[in-house]
């Protein structure tokens, strides 16, 4: 039978025993005394003091019913997060102890919460605790859910590899460079992953152990000195030229129907996906932000601006829409909600068909639209790098190299003076 136990956690206000505070309370029964917040755990009728949580406050500032401090200032918010974090730690510790022990006492919970005893985590448990921490970071708006989704994919591939090697029960102390090297080979050879994608997996594995050491779930980081090199691959900035984009924007798919090359249903599908792709070639939006449709359209004098906030970075972005994008918006009634939407995979499949129909020698994808925007902004519109960064909603211009590069056309326009011109002006 399973031994189902229920634990109660109580945070409470403990009055200060400082002489000044004791004297003030004696002189004035209504005195708003100072004190500290303490924590107590009760399990099966046994109560154990976890101890002082190092939060000092006045009695009137403590909401005993809701077990939180009253107020909205930064310091109070920080203290309430501290209380919530400790509560979460106690609950998670209790859950892990129930897996490991047939019976769990309040005293045992305290020993592990105060780290007098440490768990012997399996790699699966370590990963599970890592993602619980990351979900708290999402809740506190330190990172976005998209980041977690990507990292969870890395973790699944890592666990698949460990299962393949029968290393899921391997002691964490035994994880070394051999494990990382084997994982790298598994991804590159067995799964056919690209080197940049493989490199990101290796970086994540190292960060998992680094984070676990910081949280004191392991006593030593066995991967701390393992070298994984660097991702020296040149960023892929494939984009459409102005001529190719113009050809795509004007292409008549229904003309192929008249010639009997495709069905009307295929033409309609291609027409919709072409419009979505071209629109993003002029807006620079990521597929996720376009699909969520949390962006908005605003007029500024005679121009139309698209504004929004990137889901991945939580950064604002803003761009002036040029005529082709304005025309596409008008085609769908000027309403954002009417713009065509499809999953990333299905959209990419259709875009590959479109490239063949139009005769564009580029493997089209939703990423190509964002890179095309960057190339136009940098090399055709001659926009400053920081302005392009703002349009893309990037955290800084260091990431811009993944979307576009400066070409000869920009440099020729920027370096218009000849040496003779310089000598004359001198």
Between 271 and 422, where is the model more confident?
271
Whether residues 380 and 357 fall in one domain:
yes
**Nearest by Cα to 231 from 177, 195, 205, 202:** 195
Q: Is residue 366 classed exposed, middle or buried when 0-12, 13-18 and 19+ CB atoms within 10 A define those classes?
A: buried
> Which residue segment(s) compose the domain that 25 sits in?
7-113
Residue 426 falls within a domain, yes or no?
no
Residue 232 falls within a domain, yes or no?
no
Whether residues 209 and 311 fall in one domain:
no
Whether residues 142 and 75 fall in one domain:
no
Q: What is the pLDDT of residues 99-117, one digit of tens each?
A: 778 888 999 999 988 888 7
Whether residues 246 and 387 fall in one domain:
yes
Instruction: Say which CATH number the domain at 186 has.
Output: 1.10.150
Residue 220 falls within a domain, yes or no?
no
Mean pLDDT of 319-347: 94
Per the prediction, the chain carries an average pLDDT of: 91
Whether residues 43 and 133 fall in one domain:
no
Residue 234 falls within a domain, yes or no?
no
pLDDT of residue 229 exceeding 80, the answer is no
Q: How confident is the model at residue 1 (pLDDT cuts 50, 70, 90)?
A: very low
Q: How confident is the model at residue 19 (pLDDT cuts 50, 70, 90)?
A: very high
Whether residues 378 and 289 fall in one domain:
yes
Residue 173 falls within a domain, yes or no?
yes
3-state SS assignment for residue 302:
coil
Whether residues 206 and 92 fall in one domain:
no
What total number of domains does the chain contain? Answer: 3
The predicted pLDDT at position 242 comes to 96
Of 23-27, 170-174, 273-277, which gets the smallest average pLDDT?
170-174
**Nearest by Cα to 134 from 215, 44, 29, 246:** 215
DSSP one-letter string for 172-225? GGG--HHHHHHHHHIIIIIS---HHHHHHHHHHHHHHHHHHHHTTSSSS-TTTT
The predicted pLDDT at position 221 comes to 92
pLDDT of residue 132 exceeding 70, the answer is yes
Q: How confident is the model at residue 30 (pLDDT cuts 50, 70, 90)?
A: very high
**Nearest by Cα to 377 from 363, 397, 360, 347:** 397
Q: Is residue 275 classed exposed, middle or buried when 0-12, 13-18 and 19+ CB atoms within 10 A define those classes?
A: buried
Residue 1 falls within a domain, yes or no?
no
């Amino acid at each position: 039978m399973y031994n189902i136990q229920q634990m109660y956690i109580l945070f409470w206000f403990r009055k200060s025993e400082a002489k000044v505070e004791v004297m003030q309370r004696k002189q004035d029964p209504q005195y708003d005394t100072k004190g500290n917040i303490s924590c107590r755990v009760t399990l099966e009728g046994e109560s154990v003091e976890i101890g002082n949580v190092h939060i000092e406050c006045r009695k009137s500032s403590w909401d005993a019913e809701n077990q939180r401090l009253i107020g909205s200032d930064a310091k109070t918010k920080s203290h309430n997060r501290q209380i919530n974090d400790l509560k979460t730690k106690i609950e998670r510790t209790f859950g892990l102890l129930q897996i490991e022990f047939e019976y769990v006492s309040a005293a045992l919970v305290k020993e592990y919460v105060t780290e007098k005893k440490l768990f012997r985590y399996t790699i699966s448990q370590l990963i599970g605790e890592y993602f619980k921490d990351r979900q708290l970071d999402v809740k506190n708006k330190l990172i976005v859910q998209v980041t977690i989704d990507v990292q969870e994919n890395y973790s699944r591939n890592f666990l698949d590899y460990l299962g393949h090697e029968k290393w899921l029960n391997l002691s964490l102390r035994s994880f070394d460079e051999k494990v990382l090297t084997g994982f790298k080979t598994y991804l590159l050879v067995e799964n056919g992953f690209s080197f940049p994608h493989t490199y990101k997996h290796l970086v994540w594995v190292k960060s998992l152990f680094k984070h676990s050491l910081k949280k004191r779930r392991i006593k030593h980081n066995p991967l701390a000195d393992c070298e994984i090199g660097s991702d020296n691959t040149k960023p892929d900035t494939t984009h459409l030229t102005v001529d190719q984009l113009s050809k795509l924007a004007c292409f008549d798919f229904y003309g192929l129907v008249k010639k009997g090359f495709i069905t009307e249903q295929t033409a309609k599908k291609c027409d919709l996906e072409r419009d979505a792709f071209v629109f993003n070639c002029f807006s620079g939006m990521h597929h996720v932000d376009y699909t969520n449709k949390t962006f908005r359209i605003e007029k500024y004098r005679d121009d139309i601006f698209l504004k929004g906030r990137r889901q991945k970075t939580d950064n604002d972005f803003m761009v002036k829409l040029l005529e082709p994008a304005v025309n596409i918006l008008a085609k769908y009634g000027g309403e954002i909600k009417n713009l065509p939407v499809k999953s990333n995979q299905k959209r990419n499949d259709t875009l590959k068909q479109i490239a063949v129909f139009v005769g564009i020698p580029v493997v089209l994808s939703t990423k190509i639209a964002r890179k095309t925007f960057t190339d136009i902004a940098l090399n055709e519109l001659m926009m400053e790098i920081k302005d392009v960064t703002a349009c893309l909603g990037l955290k800084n211009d260091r990431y811009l190299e993944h979307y576009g590069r400066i070409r000869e056309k920009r440099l020729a326009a920027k370096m218009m003076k000849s040496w003779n011109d310089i000598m004359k002006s001198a």
